[in-house]
Structure 1
């Protein structure tokens, strides 16, 4: 059943007595290493992680991609780059200077002892891509679309929405600069607080047609009979985020309420 480190799920192995939790498959992209640490704490066991970058306290390029919600175009090159990082070689990141990449710079600063990176700029690089180079080897990291779905009671101010947004992103350990788009229902298109938030953070907002929301089906969304009775749709923030993120997108943060404001976060498949 093992196919690829891109698609394989995390698999852990735990002994009968619960003494050891072993990261067995998909330690990085699948999150088995982090899950191993979490489960071992819950059952007071010893975590066993054997991937070379983790053992040597180095940051794998696939870990960086997972943490920042980036896709990798050429997974066959992961081994080369991780081996190079282990050897202490400098990796070159090429980015577009027009793009706000604070999330990347902050992440690298926090992991400065685990990876040696030089940042270079080129107008030829797509704004949603990070090109990783060493010698004649190359990986392209591409942002998967992060869409924050917004809902609120009528008249909520920008600061109220911003508070809920910050709380949600803190839970996800995500920087605001990583957001690609906001989304809500067309019934909210005149909400001053939403429009101000979009303008303040320079993040575009998509107001989804009611017809699309009425037709949208997903087992992941929380259905509200109250919203259904008022507007004919079962929800605002979750379905709006999923529709805007595109086909086969998924929620990475389910609807959470903050005093009249609701936040959900969806991510595109690729």
Structure 2
């Protein structure tokens, strides 16, 4: 079983699919090339050949394709649905156990989409932590700064970590997220620049990243209903802000 299949419903999605394949790998399916068999039947035949699926389609099409295929959340392939405009990566099937939630973040980070997670385990976590850091910080430095910012709050209340694209591959940040099973949401610098709200401009960040700040706007953008409960706190090269959902 190869890891990931990318299912295109229409040839108009090919450029988006190729961009995903370049960044994430996977096998592309172009079902319109097989005129003898309908797409739903082709998908059913290929369904168990991959542990993960990215389907570039409308949600209704994905639901119809999956009709009768899902059996158990512990064994079903993970399915993420991506709209053809590349705006939303929706974890549709086998979200927590099968890894669709993590896949949704990978897809979203690869093309600048918004990850959509609906499983209760993740959705009920109220905190988003925004992080900015200097190059080369360790996972321990990130952990110390996050724990300082959280205070009496716990890591198991954190839904996701948010940062900018310039820090998407920072080893210490990735290691910290991996150690604590926290998804990393990566925001384009242009997105952050369009919403540059900060409690205090950082001269260092302005000079080196050309933004007034990172951790506060990242956390606020990642939480649409959020309110800033911990403004920027800096420790040993790591800046952290905490936003809580305002229900």
TM-score (normalised: structure 1): 0.45
Largest Rg, 1 or 2:
1
TM-score (normalised: structure 2): 0.49
